[in-house]
A and B are shown apart, each in its own frame.
Chain A
Amino acid sequence: MEPALLSPAHYKFFHIPVALFAVLIPLVGTAAFVFIMKRRLDPMLTAAPDSRWDRILGRVIKVLKIWLAQWRQPRYMTAGVLHIIIFAGFLILSVRSTTLVFLGFWDGFVFPGFGGAAGHVYAVLKDYAATAVLLACCVAAVRRGIFKPERYAVPKRYGKDHTGEAVFVLALIATLMISESLFEASLVAAQIQQLQPAEFLAPGSLAWIFRNMLVDTPITQLQSLHIGAYFVHDITFFFFLCFLPLGKHFHVITSLFNVFFMRLERGNIKPVLHGVADDQLDDLESFGVKQYQDFTWKHVLDFYSCADCGRCSDHCPANAVKRPLSPRFISIKGRDYAFNHFPLLGADQTKDDEYRLIGDVYDEDEIWSCTTCGACEQECPLGIEYIDKIVDLRRGMVEDGNVPQSLQKPLRALEKRGNPWGKVEKKRSAWVKAVAEECPVKLLEKGAEAETLYFVDSISSYDDRMQEIAQATAKTLDAAGVDFGILGKDEKDSGHDVRRFGEEMLFQDLRAQNTDAILESGARQIVTADPHAYNCLKNDYDGLPPVRHISEVLLEKIKKGVLKLSAANGDGKVYTYHDPCYLGRHNSLYEAPRKLLDAISGLERVEMLQNRDRSFCCGGGGLMLFYEPEEEQRMGVLRVQMAAAAGANVIVTACPFCLVNMEDAIKVAGMEGKLEAIDLCELVDRHTVA
């Protein structure tokens, strides 16, 4: 039987077999694609090393969850659902598109495994997939082009608007969907006209609609349409393939790899240079990221993978208060640098040794503005990292001596005295005097022994107001029957934010001193009420006894009935819990503090809109307290306003830095009397039944 229409493999145009083009287009397209990808790989090949081949199972799970299941997409419901439709459509249609490429010169080609019944099922699936993708593209184009959600806007200092590129790509995708459906629909329409058995088209699908429109069209026109649709698809397909690595749609290719290689741990900081042990750091010529090639290859891959969705910046507290930092543009600027300095045509434009990224691509204030809260990384749907890059850039600035004056003094004090205020070491345990009668605190520096070490850290040791947290912590530990002591003058600052501000060697000094003191104390577990210390001891130190946050310890004691809390009935207050970044996002400790609050019977607790892993940073702790950023308002002010909006009049934190920032913010926002801030330990202490 004659085929209803000639396939591209047999069709001749003015005696020229079009199959020739069907062979040439993929050859040229693939060659161009390989060439472009090679150029994109070049900066990665000369970048710094990165250890990302460990824990393959964990990485596969990330791929299944974050890449394949698009786990983080629905955090933004509309955009997320649209993306899932397009993503799933792409996966389904990849088989169809590949088949089409072969059909151009190989009549009757069937993708291996897609013959017979499987082929018919697949045909229905791909008809609906193409239809859904086209609809999603239309909605997405209207959204981007007309409604223009705010997070896609490009502030002037970062260059031109990206809407054109986004809509252009949506148009390419739509063209692929329409041409694929027309190719098929024209054939089916011809088969019907010639009463031949026709491929079943899924009712309601794009191809089905086209077939119904074409069923009375003359065969000659159908033939032209069939061949025309084929080549529109073929050319668009290979153009799109080569266009992907030229812009934000590179993520279509890189996301799989980016998610596979994404960070598996949170709360930690990358080593100065992968593969170089701490005791060999002195031999390194240079520290941190100063020039582009100091980034690791994964960080370059991050830049390539940014889809410009703006979710990171939408949740960045620094961006929210108009500090000069928007994580999205850390990536976009990093990507554009690679595109410009490793051009597709022409030689690499590597700069001289004097050249610095800071000042040319990034600004000092931009890099110092980050509180390392981790909201950006939590939000990124394809696992881009920011904290390690920021810390690496800071390491470079620290080595160049390029540190704001406001930070130099506390850093020097940390070096000399082990605390950022330069206070005298022997005063580190001064806070115990006020509670000496109620609960004597053992001083392990004097040779006393205790099962549990309470690691106080600098701010709760020295700051007048925060000493009350230390005192409340001591009293609740005592009431819970915990045998504990403190290191006193032998304790140094944990160095948590020293490391995150890029002064790695000072951090390592502090770590060494603390590690010795802790091990010497003989304590078998460590408890702390400072999430920065908690994160640091847990994730930055090695070989310590287990570290727990006070909320876990107290909750356990309540469950065992050792610690009893009185009721809050009738205090008329509405409480809300603010998740400290280094307890929540970085260590997934969300429930224990809430359960502790709920253990106070009758306590009325509400949640802020942004809670748990979407908690909004209070303004940052550690050295961030000393930094003087350019900003329009304080992060803390936004946060206390969120608490008020939730209907709370008491904001409970579990971090001394949060408390500093909240109490300041309440004053700045003029909310004194309407809202108060209190530490979790203080609240538990008030309700402790002797």
Chain B
Amino acid sequence: MEILVCVKRVPDTSENEIELNSAGNDIERDDLVYSVNEWDNYAVEEALQIVDKAGGSVTVVTVGDDESEEVLRREMAMGADKGILLSDDAFEGADGRGIATILKAAVDQGSYDLILTGAQADDGAAQVGGMLAAMLDVPYASLVNKIDVNGDKITVGREIEGGNQEMHEIALPCVLSIQTGINEPRYVGIRGIRKVASVEIPTLGAGDLGLDAGAVAAKVKRLDYFLPDMGEGAEMLEGDTDEIIEKLIEMLKAKGGLK
């Protein structure tokens, strides 16, 4: 099975201190550390596990600048066979539809049975998977947390509200957006990254993909970017544990939560 996994390089948001830039239209990126979007790691791991069982190969693709090559290498260190970097000045500032358009052009150049994306990106809007499927006119399942391959059909599990699980049969080729928790992504050590440091990664621009700048230009523009004001409603209870519990019980009683 030939699998394409779409990945993205995102700012690592866990400990980064996000600040707005002076223009107020983006975050200050100088001090940021970037990494692979967390969901994408699960997608790559799932692809590797499918190939382990069913054979085939895994290709990782990203839309980004030269620095995005780093995330392709990391996924190749995990075990992906091939990386493709889609990079062009014309791609800068592309919105979800634009990214999906670029990816569709790349998909058309290959022959993939299965296309995986992360369910969403840390800095994204969870649009690309669905749009890409629509553009390719193939079936799509989102928030997938289980995949079983049997022949040319696959069964996928989806997580739905309230912790419920539903199962679907879906025909190949298709696009799936992968939820975290579907597997346990393997660790990529420094040694693994060094091993793939010199592997050639082809870069495709708008021309190579047969795209013109207009086709990918953003139709959704970011107008503003700010940290929301701290709202009211949170009350910190103080005192030792017993006092806090007592206060909490009183409050719950007062508001009718406890009778």
A-B complex is real: yes
Residue of B nearest to A413 (CB): B15
CB atoms of A424 and B192 under 8 A apart: no
Residue of A nearest to B189 (CB): A398
Q: How far is the CA of A402 from the CA of B186 in the complex (A)?
A: 6
CB atoms of A408 and B187 under 8 A apart: yes
Is B99 located at the chain interface by the 8 A CB criterion? no
Is B190 located at the chain interface by the 8 A CB criterion? yes
CB atoms of B187 and A282 under 8 A apart: no
Q: Given A398-B187, A401-B188, A505-B190, A412–B35 Cβ distance below 8 Å?
A: yes
Residue of A nearest to B45 (CB): A401
Chain A positions within 8 Å of B79 at CB level: 401
Residue of A nearest to B188 (CB): A401
Is A411 located at the chain interface by the 8 A CB criterion? yes
Is B14 located at the chain interface by the 8 A CB criterion? yes
Chain A positions within 8 Å of B12 at CB level: 416, 422
Q: How far is the CA of A398 from the CA of B17 in the complex (A)?
A: 30
Chain A positions within 8 Å of B189 at CB level: 398-399, 401, 503, 505-506
CB atoms of B15 and A424 under 8 A apart: yes
Is B31 located at the chain interface by the 8 A CB criterion? yes
Query: 1/0 per position for A418-442, CB-CB distance to B under 8 A?
Result: 0001111010000000000000000
Is A287 located at the chain interface by the 8 A CB criterion? yes
| The residue from B14, B31, B78, B190 contacting A415, defined by CB atoms under 8 A apart | B190
Minimum Cβ distance to chain A for residue B19 (Å): 11
Minimum Cβ distance to chain B for residue A418 (Å): 11
| The residue from B33, B78, B185, B194 contacting A422, defined by CB atoms under 8 A apart | B33
| The residue from B14, B35, B191 contacting A287, defined by CB atoms under 8 A apart | B191
Chain B positions within 8 Å of A344 at CB level: none
Q: Given A401-B186, A402-B186, A405-B184, A422–B15 Cβ distance below 8 Å?
A: yes
Residue of B nearest to A284 (CB): B191
Minimum Cβ distance to chain A for residue B51 (Å): 15
| The residue from B31, B35, B185, B187 contacting A424, defined by CB atoms under 8 A apart | B31
CB atoms of A416 and B33 under 8 A apart: yes
| The residue from A399, A408, A412, A426 contacting B191, defined by CB atoms under 8 A apart | A399
Residue of A nearest to B187 (CB): A403
Is A509 located at the chain interface by the 8 A CB criterion? yes
Minimum Cβ distance to chain A for residue B55 (Å): 16
CB atoms of A505 and B33 under 8 A apart: no
CB atoms of B16 and A416 under 8 A apart: no
Q: How far is the CA of A423 from the CA of B31 in the complex (A)?
A: 11
Q: Please give the number of chain A residues whose Cβ is less than 8 angstroms from any Cβ of chain B in the complex.
A: 29
Per the 8 Å Cβ criterion, residues 8-52 of B in contact with A are 12, 14-17, 31, 33, 35
Minimum Cβ distance to chain A for residue B120 (Å): 19
Chain A positions within 8 Å of B190 at CB level: 415, 503, 505-506, 509
Is A341 located at the chain interface by the 8 A CB criterion? no
Query: 1/0 per position for A486-509, CB-CB distance to B under 8 A?
Result: 000000000000000001111001
Is A605 located at the chain interface by the 8 A CB criterion? no
Is A417 located at the chain interface by the 8 A CB criterion? yes
CB atoms of A401 and B192 under 8 A apart: yes
CB atoms of B15 and A505 under 8 A apart: no
Residue of B nearest to A412 (CB): B35
Q: How far is the CA of A504 from the CA of B14 in the complex (A)?
A: 25
| The residue from B15, B185, B188, B191 contacting A417, defined by CB atoms under 8 A apart | B15
Minimum Cβ distance to chain A for residue B116 (Å): 18
Residue of B nearest to A503 (CB): B189
Chain A positions within 8 Å of B185 at CB level: 405, 408
Per the 8 Å Cβ criterion, residues 266-293 of A in contact with B are 281-282, 287
Q: How far is the CA of A398 from the CA of B188 in the complex (A)?
A: 8
| The residue from A400, A405, A505 contacting B194, defined by CB atoms under 8 A apart | A505
Residue of B nearest to A403 (CB): B187
CB atoms of B191 and A423 under 8 A apart: no
Name the residue in B31, B33, B191 with the highest tally of chain A Cβ atoms < 10 Å from its Cβ.
Answer: B191
Chain B positions within 8 Å of A282 at CB level: 191, 194
Q: How far is the CA of A500 from the CA of B103 in the complex (A)?
A: 42
Chain A positions within 8 Å of B17 at CB level: 424
Chain A positions within 8 Å of B14 at CB level: 409, 422
Residue of B nearest to A421 (CB): B15
Q: How far is the CA of A509 from the CA of B35 in the complex (A)?
A: 18
| The residue from B15, B16, B78, B192 contacting A399, defined by CB atoms under 8 A apart | B192
CB atoms of B191 and A401 under 8 A apart: no
Residue of B nearest to A502 (CB): B189
Minimum Cβ distance to chain B for residue A415 (Å): 7
Minimum Cβ distance to chain A for residue B48 (Å): 9
CB atoms of A416 and B35 under 8 A apart: yes
Residue of B nearest to A405 (CB): B184
Minimum Cβ distance to chain B for residue A505 (Å): 4
Per the 8 Å Cβ criterion, residues 173-215 of B in contact with A are 184-192, 194
Q: How far is the CA of A412 from the CA of B33 in the complex (A)?
A: 11
Minimum Cβ distance to chain B for residue A512 (Å): 12
Minimum Cβ distance to chain A for residue B151 (Å): 26
| The residue from B31, B187, B191 contacting A402, defined by CB atoms under 8 A apart | B187
Q: How far is the CA of A398 from the CA of B187 in the complex (A)?
A: 7
Q: How far is the CA of A9 from the CA of B231 in the complex (A)?
A: 104
Chain B positions within 8 Å of A405 at CB level: 184-185
CB atoms of A505 and B187 under 8 A apart: no
Chain A positions within 8 Å of B191 at CB level: 281-282, 287, 399, 504-505
Q: How far is the CA of A424 from the CA of B14 in the complex (A)?
A: 11
Q: How far is the CA of A426 from the CA of B19 in the complex (A)?
A: 15
Chain B positions within 8 Å of A409 at CB level: 14
Q: How far is the CA of A503 from the CA of B188 in the complex (A)?
A: 10
Q: How far is the CA of A413 from the CA of B13 in the complex (A)?
A: 12
Chain B positions within 8 Å of A401 at CB level: 78-79, 186-189, 192
Q: How far is the CA of A380 from the CA of B14 in the complex (A)?
A: 44
Chain B positions within 8 Å of A413 at CB level: 15
Chain A positions within 8 Å of B188 at CB level: 401
Q: How far is the CA of A415 from the CA of B189 in the complex (A)?
A: 9
Name the residue in B12, B16, B33 with the highest tally of chain A Cβ atoms < 10 Å from its Cβ.
Answer: B33
Minimum Cβ distance to chain B for residue A88 (Å): 50
Chain B positions within 8 Å of A423 at CB level: 15
Query: 1/0 per position for B48-83, CB-CB distance to A under 8 A?
Result: 000000000000000000000000000000110000
Q: How far is the CA of A311 from the CA of B95 in the complex (A)?
A: 64
Q: How far is the CA of A424 from the CA of B187 in the complex (A)?
A: 23
Query: 1/0 per position for A236-274, CB-CB distance to B under 8 A?
Result: 000000000000000000000000000000000000000
Q: How far is the CA of A506 from the CA of B194 in the complex (A)?
A: 11
Residue of B nearest to A462 (CB): B15
Name the residue in A405, A505, A509 with the highest tally of chain B Cβ atoms < 10 Å from its Cβ.
Answer: A505
Q: How far is the CA of A421 from the CA of B17 in the complex (A)?
A: 13
Minimum Cβ distance to chain A for residue B244 (Å): 14
Chain A positions within 8 Å of B186 at CB level: 400-403
Q: Given A424-B17, A424-B31, A411–B194 Cβ distance below 8 Å?
A: no
Minimum Cβ distance to chain A for residue B167 (Å): 25
Chain B positions within 8 Å of A422 at CB level: 12, 14-16, 33
Chain B positions within 8 Å of A421 at CB level: 15
Name the residue in B16, B17, B187, B191 with the highest tally of chain A Cβ atoms < 10 Å from its Cβ.
Answer: B187
18 more A-B residue pairs beyond the given contacts A415-B190, A421-B15, A424-B15, with a C-beta to C-beta distance below 8 A: A282-B191, A282-B194, A287-B191, A399-B189, A399-B191, A399-B192, A400-B186, A401-B78, A401-B79, A401-B187, A402-B186, A408-B187, A422-B33, A423-B15, A424-B17, A505-B189, A505-B194, A509-B190
**What 8 A-B pairs have minimum CB-CB distances, sorted nearest first?**
A401-B186, A403-B187, A505-B190, A422-B15, A416-B33, A505-B191, A401-B187, A506-B190
Can you name 5 A-B residue pairings with CB atoms under 8 Å? A398-B187, A399-B191, A401-B78, A402-B187, A416-B12
